């Protein structure tokens, strides 16, 4: 899952917190039990020695069957006495055992060397939560997108109806090698709304999404340029933009112009293209303006590789105010 290093580390920290909490609570109850019934600790030690004796009996050879039977009978008596003391203390075996959030991996995040589903789900939840804190994700859904604002212009309505259907299908059928998209058009035409609707749908499917404005990414990239680590590695923003399953770059062209940011954005877009990782870019600039602001090479990458969706109509925010004033 391409959620980036930061989300991965946050999920790892949360799992460690859960594991320590579960084991700490169990240890506290076990300690209290032993304090109340000291003989229970002795029984536990005797049970461990008895289990070790079974292994030794196999290694020694001889009459293994009768020796194992004897040890098994003793184990039964020790366990029965241990359970009797637990019952007297008002406890069960489960009470003194860690109650992990995920029994499959015991809150380690891994099962047989593979990422546990709980780890993947936690990363998804953290990514969704982080994205929701930055943008109104719950408000920008496909169900809340209204085509009524385009009705006065039949051409714009038909175009936006097709774009809405294309975006909805894109989100529902998203895969790691889905095509990249370019949302072009003036301000207030629904580009941000539909890109966030795609983001929400894709995250719900379990993929990693990074969303942000070109300006916010530019600020982070410039900051990390001067805070570069001693080993020369690039910062977390650059890493996340390259590794996420879907990158959504909103309002390209509104960031403060910088040769470094332009080069960094080109590197990210080009690297994702070569890795067949989908990117959605929204911009108010024409292809000519993109070429003039960035470079011919930059514009040609987008022109030749991205599916273009031309947003038409009037500024929705103005149309909303008009409709509200009529009521």
| Cα-based distances in Å from 240 to 66, 200, 254, 268, 281 | 62, 18, 21, 10, 16
Token pair of 123 as six digits:
């990363």
Rounded Cα distance, 76 and 72, in Å:
6
Q: Regarding beta strands 181-184 and 209-213, do their DSSP bridges make them parallel or antiparallel, or are they unpaired?
A: unpaired
pLDDT for the residue numbered 181: 97
Q: Which domains does the chain carry?
A: 21-111 (no CATH), 135-326 (3.40.50.300)
Q: Average pLDDT per run of 10 along the chain, which is 327 residues long?
A: 72 95 94 93 89 72 75 89 93 93 94 89 77 68 91 92 97 95 92 93 86 85 67 59 88 87 89 94 92 90 91 78 60
Of 59, 4, 63, the C-alpha closest to 211 is: 4
Output the pTM of the full model.
Answer: 0.67
Cα–Cα dist 144/138, whole Å: 9
The answer to whether the beta carbons of residues 184 and 221 sit under 8 Å apart is no
Q: Which string of DSSP letters, residue by residue, matches 283-302?
A: ESS-HHHHHHHT-HHHHHHH
Strand ranges in 181-314 using DSSP code E only, listed in sequence order:
181-184, 209-213, 246-252, 279-283, 307-310
């Amino acid at each position: 899952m391409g959620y980036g290093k930061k989300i991965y580390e946050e999920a790892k920290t949360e799992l460690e917190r859960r594991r320590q909490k579960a084991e700490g609570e169990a240890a506290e109850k076990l300690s209290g039990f032993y304090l109340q019934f000291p003989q229970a600790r002795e029984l536990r030690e005797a049970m461990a020695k008895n289990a070790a004796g079974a292994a030794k009996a196999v290694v020694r050879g001889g009459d293994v069957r009768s020796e194992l039977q004897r040890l098994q009978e003793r184990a039964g008596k020790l366990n029965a006495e241990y359970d009797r003391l637990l019952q007297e203390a008002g406890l069960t075996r489960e009470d003194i055992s860690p109650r992990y959030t995920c029994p499959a991996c015991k809150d380690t995040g891994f099962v047989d060397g593979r990422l546990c589903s709980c780890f993947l789900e936690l990363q998804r939840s953290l990514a969704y939560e982080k994205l929701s804190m930055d943008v109104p994700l719950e408000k920008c859904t496909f169900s809340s997108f209204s085509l009524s604002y385009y009705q006065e212009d039949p051409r714009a309505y038909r175009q936006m109806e097709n774009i809405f259907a294309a975006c909805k299908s894109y989100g529902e059928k998203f895969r790691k090698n889905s095509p990249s998209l370019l949302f072009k058009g003036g301000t207030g035409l629904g580009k941000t709304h539909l890109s966030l609707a795609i983001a929400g749908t894709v995250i719900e499917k379990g993929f990693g999404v990074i969303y942000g404005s070109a300006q916010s990414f530019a600020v982070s990239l410039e900051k990390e340029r001067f805070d570069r680590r001693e080993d020369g590695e690039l910062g977390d923003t650059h890493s996340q933009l390259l590794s996420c399953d879907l990158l959504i770059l909103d309002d390209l062209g509104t960031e403060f112009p910088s040769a470094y940011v332009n080069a960094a954005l080109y590197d990210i877009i080009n690297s994702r293209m070569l890795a067949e990782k989908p990117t959605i870019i929204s911009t108010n600039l024409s292809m000519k303006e993109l070429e003039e602001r960035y470079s011919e090479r930059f514009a040609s990458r987008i022109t030749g590789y991205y599916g273009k969706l031309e947003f038409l109509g009037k500024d929705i925010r103005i149309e909303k105010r008009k409709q509200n004033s009529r009521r």
